[in-house]
């Protein structure tokens, strides 16, 4: 009965039905998973049960071989980091678009994790595992060089995530993938620099009888 209910909730999204599992989950790439939120309590009755997602990831990818990315800003879908081996949070609201800086930070994190864990997988979810998840995965496909054309990336995601080819259906979310692709081409390359010295001139007020105090603070950007 619960399996039937979960099928109704997932609608036209592809489900993983192998080795005794029936989860709202699909492999977009061999190392990229899109899935509905792992849930507990009453919510777990109609969404992905937390315990089964934990078991699936450990069996398929081993302890330490996966990182779960939670995109939910809703308190109801927050969970303790210890629920999985690795958890990264990049939250933004349902049916909305994330800041470009959040997309870039997400893409860099996923890319770094996968580079450091050959054979590992990034398991990405929002509430239903379709709209917000689709934005971030599609942008990562562009970031990582799998696609250059945003439309092709969107279509690829839609085909891999759903049965009816309707992946990201929010027009503003689709446009944002295009904006990110454009921004990425002009994104400044990050450089590591070392501050070796600071030289100041024309500060006569810090000497003499009524001298002040000069404080220099450095903080990461």
DSSP per residue over 56-74, as a string?
Answer: HHHHHH-TTSEEEEEEE-S
Query: Is there a contact between 86 and 66 (Cβ–Cβ < 8 Å)?
Result: yes
Determine whether 126 is an active site residue: yes
DSSP per residue over 138-190, as a string?
Answer: HHHHHHTTS-SSHHHHHHHHHHHHBSSS-----HHHHHHHHHHHHHHHTPPPP
Q: How many CB atoms lie within 10 A of CB 26?
A: 19
Options 67, 72, 107, 126, the catalytic residue: 126
Q: Which residues are catalytic?
A: 126
């Amino acid at each position: 009965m619960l399996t039937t209910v979960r099928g109704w909730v997932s609608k036209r999204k592809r489900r993983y039905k192998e080795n005794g599992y029936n989860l709202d989950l699909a492999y977009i790439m061999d190392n990229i998973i899109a899935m509905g939120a792992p849930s507990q309590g009453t919510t777990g009755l109609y969404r992905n049960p937390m315990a089964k997602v934990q078991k699936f990831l450990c069996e398929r990818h081993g302890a330490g071989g996966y990182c779960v990315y939670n995109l939910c800003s809703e308190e109801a879908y927050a969970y303790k980091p210890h629920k999985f081996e690795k958890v990264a949070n990049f939250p933004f609201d349902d049916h909305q678009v994330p800041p470009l800086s959040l997309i870039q930070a997400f893409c860099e994190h996923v890319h770094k994790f996968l580079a450091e864990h050959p054979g590992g997988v990034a398991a990405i979810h929002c509430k239903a595992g379709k709209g917000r998840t689709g934005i971030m995965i599609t942008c990562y496909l562009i970031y990582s060089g799998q696609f250059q054309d945003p439309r092709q990336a969107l279509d690829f995601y839609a085909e891999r995530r759903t049965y009816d080819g309707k992946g990201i259906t929010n027009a503003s979310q689709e446009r944002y993938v295009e904006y990110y692709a454009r921004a990425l081409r002009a994104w400044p390359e990050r450089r590591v620099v070392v501050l070796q010295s600071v030289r100041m001139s024309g500060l006569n007020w810090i000497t003499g009888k009524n001298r002040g105090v000069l404080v220099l603070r450095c903080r990461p950007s």
